[in-house]
Amino acid sequence: MNLIRIRKVTSGIILILFILLFLGSEKLSVSLSTFLLPFQGIPALVHTVTQPEALCIIGLIFIVVTTLFFGRVYCSFLCPLGALQDLLIAGSQRFRRQPGHSFSRPLNGLRYSLLALTVATALIGSLSLVSLLDPTSLAGRIFTHFLQPLFVWTYNLGILVLKPLNIYLYPKQTAFVSLSVLAVTVVFFLLMMYLAATRGRLYCNTFCPVGTFLGLLSHISVFHFTLNQKSCSECVRCENMCKAGCIDPQTASIDMSRCVGCFNCLNACSKATIIYQRRRSQTHAHTWSPARRGFILGSVAAAAGFIAFNTNIRTFLVTHAAQANPPVTPPGSLNTKHFTQACTACSLCVSVCPTQVLTPTFMDFGVSGLLQPKMNYEKSFCEYKCNICGKVCPTGAILALSLDEKKLTQIGKAELLKDVCVVFVDHRNCGACGEVCPTHAIRFVDKENILYPEIDKQYCIGCGACQLACPTAPRSIIVHAKPIHKKAEKYFSPETAVEQKTPPDQAFPF
Amino acid sequence: MIDTQKFNRREVISKGLSFGLIAGGAAILGKPDFLLAKEEPARIPDLVAVKNGEPDAMFKKAIELMGGMNQFVKKGQTVVVKPNIGFPRVPEVGATTNPLLIKTLIESCYTAGAKRVYVFDNVVTATPGNARNCYKLSGIEEASKAARGIVVPIDDFSYREVKIPGGKKLKTADVHSLILDCDVFINAPVLKHHSSAHLSIAMKNLMGIVKNRMEYHLTGLDQCIADFCMYRKPDLNVVDAYRVLMSHGPSGPSNPRSANVQMKKTLLLSKDIVAIDAAAARIFGKEPEEIDYIRIAHAQKTGNMNLKELKIVTYAM
């Protein structure tokens, strides 16, 4: 059947594009993100409620409409985690003594309560569960936390090999991922691998909120799979082929809420007993009823979620307590609240950030903001002429800023600790901070030929270059977060360049 | 009085004979310049200054006045050119060495018979991404490659620790192995304003071959800059004062239109790193004694900042 080949090619392309999105060059990532990410369920949904954009709404409608027509084909065609699992499943089948899948009972209680819990926590302003379970974000973390280091290490090893041949290339850097964050990704990756190897697409049918929600829609999809009991010889070939474990030949039923639309069963059946066709009104009446409650509940919850995701209502509901020392959030994230309520921790910004200043945190934003990234000024700084994180962010947590806007966006403010600074303590020149300040916020006052740094806070955008450059331990210049981003004043030099009209003189000053 | 200038016959004969022998021997051995060198030991000027030309033309003139590139680069040698590429700025800002000068310099090294010419700088804020920005924006990567120069980006593995003999504050430094292993080291800084060292010229530029530059800032910038020159002085210093950043150095503004740049169109050449810094300071409009590290290096006998005592050749185009 051609449909299977189309699926394999499509999901293969999606997987490759996603890997390129996360590991490719900056330009490639930006161009891929513009058309790839609006067609991802959770990112498109969150982006639509935080900052509606035409393409995201189109993507969302596309996903819902295709599901209403064809069932959960999204899970087999467009989902990067789905593609990754299909690879794992195909791989593990080769090593199994008895290949093949078998029917399993749906874990309805777990999946619907997880969906309800995910929606409920999102409603009260925490995306932690969404971040943990969303397949796009999880795939992103797997790419950034595992695949990127592997790629970077191999690349840098290649550079070392080429060096004796006098071929020099710029080395690459991996993102800074703390052990606790890595542990979360490892646990989820292992869980997914285990489930894929032993139970097929069980992750998608139990843990994935997108899968569960689309499963509810699939109950009423126009096209569906049916098993004709009369012609069925109960050879269980279709059951063996079904990664989702949703075909039960005994009762001749196919659970459309768990079918991921891979079309493998159509190929498996030699008698064309399984048919993919338009739903006839009377056929689904009784097969559908057990999950009807779940569907109604789910759609009500989803609708409520859609409305309540609206920022105003959420602001009203939000319990996000302002921390004493909140982390700095990237330029374009407007304020801590906007950022934490829109970021699903996919780590795309972490992986594309050219200076690797964006670092995923474990709980720096509190329990309600698990894994969300911060500006890590102990490791790096924010490049002045860069606005790439806003360009790639799939959820609108970091809004795209023009370079001119970015250069004046205050995400933090530098504080000079004069009781630690070597110039004030020892009275000799240092100036490491001023050297790297891109906005002229650090000015030097000459007292007896010693240059003392002073900060003009109105120009400081909180990029952290000074903090990274400061040689003292502990640092004597520290950037504090601005929980609500502001606009910095533009610096105008008192000495402006003068066009020299005088003819060149011939004299030398010595 | 007149008597003392008279030679007696024996002396004249013996001196004439020995001179003839040496001259003949030298001529047979094919080294007639050995004689000339004996008669005029300071033929190479201490400092050459050229002005009012384009960077390439000025360099060609200056190196000619210096006695040619063959004085510094011999056949088959490896050369490292160390420009100032410290900041991600376009050449118009004047924060980085002029790319055309670097290109001409590399070409000149190859013409003199160099086997390989490397171009290297350990940029300020040494992340790979920032290094790439600096190399590209400054135009130095492109210019160097056009002249077959080997552009070497930073990495963490290529530094070796060396002891600084006589260093007061700086006792050891982690120096890039390219500089440690090369035959000829050419320092090619740009003259510019510096917020915490007043000026950045040739001595300050050497902070870009060490890894532990933050130790300089921490323990005393001026003393450490002067101390490092006790380890290795470049074989040749070329100071680019074509576009001079007069304020907001060392980085200058990112927008070249707001850069306070003066077109000094000058180029300096010297083996003496202190002398060239002193001369460059004058071009900037400061006295060498005002710059602490120049004063310290002079006192530590690294070079001579008293320009009056030097043989300076100037040329205005």
Minimal C-alpha gap between B195 and chain A (Å): 7
Total residues found in chain A within this entry: 510
CA distance A456 to B177: 40
Hey, what's the torsion of the CAs at B191, B193, B194, B197, to 10 degrees?
80
Structure tokens at A492: 């105008």
B155 closest CB neighbour out of A171, A449, A465: A171
Which residues of chain A are within 8 Å of residue B307 when distances are taken between CB atoms? Answer: 510
Query: What does pLDDT average to over chain B?
Result: 87
CB A218 within 8 A of CB A205: no
Which of B218, B248, B314 lies closest to A440 in CB terms? B248
pLDDT of residue A306: 61
pLDDT, tens digit (0-9, with 9 covering 90-100), for B33-83: 544 444 444 478 999 999 999 999 999 999 999 999 999 999 999 999 999
Provide the residue-wise pLDDT of chain A in tens; the chain has 510 residues.
Answer: 588 999 999 999 999 999 999 998 889 999 999 999 999 999 999 999 888 889 999 999 999 999 999 999 999 999 999 999 999 999 888 888 777 888 988 888 888 989 989 988 888 888 999 999 999 999 999 999 999 999 999 999 999 899 888 888 888 888 899 999 999 999 999 998 899 988 899 999 999 999 999 999 998 888 988 888 888 888 888 888 899 999 988 888 899 999 999 999 888 887 778 888 887 755 444 444 555 666 666 666 666 666 555 555 455 444 444 456 789 999 999 999 899 989 999 999 999 999 999 999 998 888 888 999 999 999 999 999 899 999 999 999 999 999 999 999 999 999 999 999 999 999 988 889 998 999 999 999 989 888 899 999 999 999 999 999 999 989 999 999 999 999 999 988 776 555 555 556 788 888
CB within 8 Å of A278: residues ≥ 6 apart: A222, A223
Q: How far is the alpha carbon of A436 from chain B, nearest alpha carbon, in Å?
A: 7
Residue A490, token pair as written in the block: 């533009």
A354 to chain B: closest CA residue: B129
Size of interface A-B (CB pairs under 8 A): 134
Which of A166, A451, A465 shows the shortest C-beta gap to B150? Answer: A166
> Which residues in chain B are closer than 8 Å to A434, comparing Cβ atoms?
195-196
Contacts of B52 in chain A (CB under 8 A): 504, 506
pLDDT at B39: 45
How far B30 CA lies from chain A's nearest CA (Å)? 37
Nearest chain B Cα distance for residue A188, angstroms: 31
Q: Residues of B with CB below 8 A from A440's CB?
A: 248, 253
B10 has pLDDT over 70? no
* CA A475 to mean position of chain CA atoms: 32
**Which tokens go with A509?**
């000053």
Q: Which residues of chain B lie closer than 8 angstroms to A500, CB-CB?
A: 262-263
Structural domain boundaries of chain A? 2-317, 409-491
All residues of chain A having their beta carbon less than 8 Å from the beta carbon of residue B151 are 168
Q: Which one of B157, B203, B217, B305 makes the best mutation probe of the A interface by having the most chain A beta carbons within 10 Å?
A: B217
ipTM score of complex? 0.78
Greater model confidence, A301 or B110: B110
Nearest CB to B251; choose among A381, A436, A444: A436
Q: How far apart are CA A52 and CA A437, in angstroms?
A: 36
C-alpha closest to that of A274 among A245, A244, A232: A232
Smallest CA–CA distance, residue A453 to chain B, in Å, is: 9
Q: Which of B260, B265, B290 sits opposite A496 (nearest CB)?
A: B260
Q: Which of B135, B137, B182, B195 to mutate to test the interface with A (most CBs of A within 10 A)?
A: B195
**Does the pLDDT of residue B278 top 90, yes or no?**
yes
pLDDT surpassing 90 at residue B185: yes
Q: What is the mean pLDDT of residues B242-250?
A: 91
Which of A425, A430, A448 should be substituted to probe chain B, the one whose Cβ sees the most B Cβ atoms within 10 Å? A430
Burial class (CB in 10 A: 0-12, 13-18, 19+), A464: buried
Q: How far apart are CA A456 and CA A444, in angstroms?
A: 10
B219: distance to nearest CA of chain A, Å? 8
Task: Determine the pLDDT at residue A449.
Answer: 82
Q: Do B90 and B252 form a contact (C-beta atoms < 8 A)? A: no
| Runs of H (alpha helix) within A95-170 | 108-123, 128-133, 135-142, 148-162
CATH 3.60.70.12 is the classification of domain B42-316: no
Closest CA–CA distance from residue B129 to any residue of chain A (Å):
6
Q: How confident is the model at residue B191 (pLDDT cuts 50, 70, 90)?
A: very high
Chain-centroid distance, C-alpha B251? 21
Q: Output DSSP code: residue A410.
A: E
CATH entry, A409-491, from 2.120.10.30, 3.30.565.10, 3.30.70.20, 3.40.50.1820? 3.30.70.20
| Domains in chain B: boundaries | 1-41, 42-316
Rounded mean pLDDT, B221-239: 93
β-pairing, A274-278 vs A223-227, is antiparallel
Residues 6+ apart with CB under 8 A from A284: A219, A224
**Shortest Cα distance, chain B CAs vs residue A25, angstroms:** 12
Whether A82 contacts A73, CB under 8 Å? no
Cβ A495–B247 below 8 Å, yes or no?
yes
Which of B195, B198, B254 comes nearest A435 by C-beta? B195
Q: Do B292 and A497 touch (CB under 8 A)?
A: no
DSSP 8-state class, residue A373: E
d(CA B194, CA A435): 8
Determine whether the interchain pair A435/B292 forms a contact, defined as Cβ–Cβ distance below 8 Å: no
Token pair for residue A364? 């720096």
pLDDT score of B155: 76
**Beta-carbon separation of A428 and B197 below 8 A:** no
Which among A168, A354, A429 is the nearest to B221, CB-wise?
A: A429
